[in-house]
Amino acid sequence: MTEAATTAERVLDVREIPPYQRHEIIPRLFDHLAPGQAMQIVVDHDPRPLRQFFASVHGDDCQWTYLEQGPAVWRVRLRRAA
């Protein structure tokens, strides 16, 4: 089995989850990532406030990458620094 197959990223589509629940779920999932692991979130707007949260709480430990930037769908990869 290849490295990519064993480290598949979890994709979390939060478009149908109420905002207050999103802000509890996403940080909790990130906290469980091992160094070098990543997850993706899919939302219906630019998640800038979430990015600011991760920057203030995790600093350089959270690498944020936009994979898709609207207008209808935004996809972001969050990777825990190795």
79 within domain boundaries:
yes
9 within domain boundaries:
no
Of residues 11, 10, 22, the one with CA closest to residue 47: 22
CB-based contact 30:54 (threshold 8 Å): yes
The Cα–Cα gap between 20 and 79 comes to 22
**Reduced to 3 states, what is the DSSP secondary structure of residue 32?**
coil
Structural domain range at position 82: 19-35+48-82
40 within domain boundaries:
no
> Tens digit of pLDDT for each residue in 59-78?
999 999 999 999 999 999 99
42 within domain boundaries:
no
72 within domain boundaries:
yes
41 within domain boundaries:
no
43 within domain boundaries:
no
Q: How many domains does the chain have?
A: 1
Of residues 7, 5, 9, 13, the one with CA closest to residue 74: 13
Model confidence at 25: pLDDT above 50: yes
CB-based contact 44:59 (threshold 8 Å): no
Give the predicted TM-score (pTM) of the model.
0.84
